[in-house]
Structure 1
Amino acid sequence: MEDRACLLTGVEAARQAQAGLTLFEKIWAMHRLAGIDATTALLLVDRVLLHERTGAVALKSLAAAGRAILAPDQAFVTMDHVVDTLPGRSDATRVPTGTAFITATREAAAQAGLTVFDLGDLDQGIGHVISPELGIVLPGVTLVCPDSHTCSQGALGALAWGIGSTAAEHALATSTLRVKRPRTMRVTVDGALADGVTAKDLALYLLHRLGAAGGAGHIVEYAGSAITALDVEARLTLCNMATEFGAFSAIIAPDDKVFAYLKGRRYAPAGAEWEAALASWKLLRSDDDASFDVEYRFDATDVAPMVTWGVSPQQGVPISGRVPQFAAVSERDPRELYDRALAYMDLMPDRPMIGLSIDGAFIGSCTNSRISDLRRAAAVLKGRTVAPGIIAICVPGSTQVRAQAQREGLDRIFLEAGFEWRESGCSMCFFAGGESFGHRQRVISSTNRNFESRQGPETRTHLASPETVAASAIMGAIADPRSMV
C-alpha cells in the first residue's frame, strides 16, 4: 500500500526541524495544502475509517453523485457499532434497522473496492482497536472516522479526529478536509502512577480536575514521565477519553514503545521503507521551546482508582471517596446539573462509593477492551465468582484480542467467574446492537460515557477501570480492586 504521510520529504523534514513547533503544528504543516482563512486550512487526509452505522450513508451518497473514492487503498471499513456480540452471531441484530446497515455497508464497500473487516473476519473489531493492531494508524498520519473516539489513535503520534458522514464523503472523494485549526494544550503528568492505578483512572482524574469542557477547542498533547511510562494500549485508553474532555483530539509523541508496537503490523512499512519511516517518526515531537496556548501539570502520585458518581464523566471521585457535597463541585457543575445527577443516580451527598450495590458489570468498548485490559481484569477474577444476581459481560475489542485471550486461557477465567464471553464489537457501550441493561439498573462499566440512558432505559452507569469493574462484579457492589490482589 502506497503511504503518502509516514515517509517525509526533505522539505517536510526541514519543517519539523524548525524550532518552537509543537508536535501538532508539525503534523499540521506537513498536511496543510492551502489556507482558507486565518484559522482554517485544507488538510491532506491519509486514512479514512468507516463503520456500518454511518459507512453506508457516505458510500451510497458518493455513488449516487457519481463520485469515485480517490484513494480506496487508504480507506477501511469495519462492522462494529450495531453488530450483535452473542456467540454464533449473523447479520441479524436487535436494532430494527441493524441488518440493513450491515448489508448496505458491505455492498457499498465492495462496489467501491474498499477493504472490509466483516463479521467472521479474523481482523474484525472496533475501529479504534483494529486500526492500531493492524498498523493502519501510524505516527504522523492524519486519520478520520465518523466516530468521536477517533482521538484514541493519537496515542501513536497521529493526528486523528472524529467527523460526520458528510465530511467522510468529502474525505473519501478528495483525500482532503477543511479543518479549523484548534488551539494547543499540553497536559504534563510527572511522577509514577501507583500500583493498581491505570490510564483509565488517570483519564477520569483529569476530567474530575478540569471538567468535561476543559479541552474544548484544543488539541491536547499528553506529556511527562508518567505518560512515557504508559504502554501503547494504556496511551490509547488515555487519548480515547479526550472527547469526553471536549477536545478536538489528543496526541502523544511516538517513542520506542510505539515503534516496537508497530513493527511487523500488516499495514506498517517494511524493509527499507520501515527504516525511512522510522527516521522520520523520530522527528515527531514538540520542540523544547515550543509554546502551547494552555498548559497544565499534574503529579501522578495524586491519582487513585476512580469511579464516577453522576451522569457526566467529569463527575468522578477516588473510589475510597464519597458523593461530593455541592460546594465541592460548584465551580464546575451548575446546581441544576448536580441535583439532576443525584436524582437520576438515586444518590445522596456523602454516600461512600465503596459498597454501593450494583446490578450489572460490563468490560468492553474502545476505551478498555484490549488484551492488556482483559489480562488485568482476569487477574482480579481468577479463582473468584461473580456475586449472585449480577449480570456480568465481557466483550473483547477485536476478534484478534478475543483469539489472543482464548490462547492465554482468559476466556475460561471470565466464564468460570460468571461473566458472559462475547464476540467483538461496541456492544453495550451505548446498546447500539439493541441490547441493554434493565430499567434503572445500576451498572459499573469500563466504557467512556455515563450519560442518562446510555446503557439502557434510565440505567445508572458508573465508569471505572476494568479491574474495578471485575472487583465490583465479585462483591456485588462497588469495590476497590487493590484490596483483591
Structure 2
Amino acid sequence: MKPTTIFEKIWNDHIVDQEEGKPALLYIDLHLVHEVTSPQAFEGLRLTGREVRRPDLTYATMDHNVPTKDRFNIEDPISKQQIDALYQNCEEFNIPLADLSSPEQGIVHIIGPEMGLTQPGKTIVCGDSHTSTHGAFGALAFGIGTSEVEHVLATQCLQQTKPKTLNIKINGSLPVGTTAKDLILYIIGQHGTSVGAGHVIEFTGEAIEKMTMEERMTVCNMSIEAGARAGLITPDETTFRYLEGRHYTPKGQDWTTAIESWKKLVTDPGAVYDQTVEINAADIIPQVTWGTTPSMGTGITKNVPNPEELPTVTEQQTARRALEYMELIPGTPITDIKIDRAFIGSCTNGRIEDLRAAAQVVKGYKVVSHVNAMIVPGSQTVKKQAEQEGLDKIFVEAGFEWRESGCSMCLGMNSDVLKKRERCASTSNRNFEGRMGRNSKTHLLSPAMVAAAAIKGHFTDVREWTFQ
C-alpha cells in the first residue's frame, strides 16, 4: 500500500461519497455548537421542517457572549438574544448544553478536550475558526460557516474539498523560557499568515513530541492564523494519558480497543507531504507582536521594525499602516512599549497550565498601578482547579481581577472590551484592528510574558525574571 499521512488516513476513513472532480462528502463525528453562529442554522431547520440528525454527536456551550464579571447579568440585548436562543434551540432539538449554570460551561475549544469529547481520528467541526485546536489530539478539526452548521445539524455530513498537506517540523528542544505560544508566533512571524493556505499542517519534531497536551493545543489553535485549514499532531502516550478516565472517553475493554486504533494514526515512513518547512527550536525567544496581524511580531530583545527595510512595497505599506494604527515608532525597543491592560485567557491560553505559568511570575509582586489586569479561566473546570490550587489568591493578591469563564476580551463581543486607544498585552490569538474594541491595540504574548508586563507596566523579558 502507498504510504499515507495521518491526515489522509482520517480523511479517507470519513468519505461517504466522492464524485470525480467534486468535493468529498465527509462524515462528521463531533459537532460543537455555541451561541453566535448557530441561531440562523437552527432557524433554517425549522423553516425546512428538519430535525437534528445526530443530537448525540452534537454538544453546545455558551462562551462568546458570556459576561465574566456577572455571568447572569447580560446587558447587551443582542448577546442576551443569542444566549436565550441557544437555550431554546438545544431544548427543542434535544442537544446537550453546558449553559451558564453548568459546571461544564466554558470556551468550546477548552471543554471539548477536558470532557473527552475530543478524541484521535475524529472529524470535528464548529462554527468557529479556532476549531483547529482539537487537532492536537490527532483529530481532523476545522471551523465552518453558518450554512455549513445547518448542513451538519441536518445530515451529520459536510462537503469539503481535500486540502494539501504541509509538514512543519521543529528540530531540537525549545530553550528555557520559550513556550508553545512563542513557537507558533515565531512560525507565523517567519513564514507569514498564508504559509498554510489550502493546507492541513502536521506539526512534527522533537519540540512537539516533548510538549504537554495543553501546549500542543496552543500550537494547533493558532494554525488557522498561519492560513491553514487545520492543524494536526500525531497522538501518542501523552495524548492517551490526558484522555484516560475523562467523561466521554471509552472505558474498560473499549478503552484498550480505542488505544489500539489510535496508535495507527501516524504518518507512514515514506509518505509525501505537498510542502515541508523546518524550524530550529533553538532560534526561538519569547515573542511579542507589534502590528495588526499575528505575523507582525518579533523577539522581546528586538526593536519595532522600520517599514522601509522590508523587502517589498506591499510589505512596507502594510507595516506603515499597522504602526500608524498601533501608534508605534520604528526602532523603539519592544521592552519600551508600555501597556494599559493585561488579559490572560482565551481558547489559546486559558487552560490550567497557562494560569500556573502566569501565577509563578506574579507571585510576590503587584500589578503596576496604571495597568488593569484580568485572569479569565477557559472553563468552569479550569476555574475550580485553579481555586483548589490557590492560584486565584495569588492573582488577587497581585492585583489581578479573577473572573468567570468565557471568551472574554479576546473578541470584544461581550462586556470585556478595551477603551479607545488602550494598549493590551494579551494571550489571545488575534491582534486585528478593533479586535478587542474600537481603535484598541492588541499585542500577543505568552501567559508568562503577559504576567510580567502587568507587573512592570511594559513588555519585559521573562527569562530575566526573579521568581519569588
CA RMSD of aligned residues (A): 1.2
Q: Give unpaired runs (5+ residues) of structure 1.
A: 1-17
* 1:15 equivalent in structure 2: none
Q: CA deviation at 1:349?
A: 1.4
1:4-49 Cα deviation digits (max 9, x unpaired) = xxxxxxxxxxxxxx44100000000100111134362000001100
* 2:18 equivalent in structure 1: 35
Equivalent pair of 2:180/2:216 in contact (CA under 8 Å):
yes
**Counterpart-to-counterpart distance in 1, 2:309 and 2:297:** 12
**Counterpart-to-counterpart distance in 2, 1:331 and 1:251:** 32
Q: Read off the aligned partner of 1:171 and give its amino acid letter.
A: V
Q: CA deviation at 1:54?
A: 1.8
Task: Name whichever of 53-62 and 307-316 sits farther off.
Answer: 53-62
* 2:443 equivalent in structure 1: 462
For 1:206, what is the secondary structure of its paired residue? helix
Q: Read off the aligned partner of 2:389 and give its amino acid letter.
A: E
Q: Read off the aligned partner of 2:58 and give its amino acid letter.
A: A
* 1:242 equivalent in structure 2: 223
**Counterpart-to-counterpart distance in 2, 1:274 and 1:435:** 41
State how 1:28-427 maps to structure 2 within 5 Å.
Answer: 28-38=11-21, 40-86=23-69, 88-90=70-72, 92-326=73-307, 328-331=309-312, 334-427=315-408
**Counterpart-to-counterpart distance in 2, 1:354 and 1:192:** 26
Equivalent pair of 2:175/2:282 in contact (CA under 8 Å):
yes
Q: Read off the aligned partner of 2:221 and give its amino acid letter.
A: N
**Counterpart-to-counterpart distance in 2, 1:39 and 1:235:** 33
Equivalences, count:
466
Equivalent pair of 2:310/2:316 in contact (CA under 8 Å):
no
Q: 1:415 to 1:76 in 2, by over 3 A?
A: same
**Counterpart-to-counterpart distance in 1, 2:293 and 2:229:** 18
Q: Read off the aligned partner of 1:21 and give its amino acid letter.
A: T
Q: TM-score, normalised by structure 1?
A: 0.94
For 1:238, what is the secondary structure of its paired residue? helix
Equivalent pair of 2:119/2:138 in contact (CA under 8 Å):
yes
Q: CA deviation at 1:93?
A: 2.2
**Counterpart-to-counterpart distance in 2, 1:414 and 1:437:** 21
**Counterpart-to-counterpart distance in 1, 2:428 and 2:20:** 38
1:319-340 Cα deviation digits (max 9, x unpaired) = 1111112255435962221110
**Counterpart-to-counterpart distance in 2, 1:148 and 1:291:** 27
**Counterpart-to-counterpart distance in 2, 1:281 and 1:231:** 18
Q: 1:428 to 1:240 in 2, by over 3 A?
A: same
**Counterpart-to-counterpart distance in 2, 1:319 and 1:332:** 26
Q: 1:332 to 1:294 in 2, by over 3 A?
A: farther
Q: CA deviation at 1:65?
A: 1.5
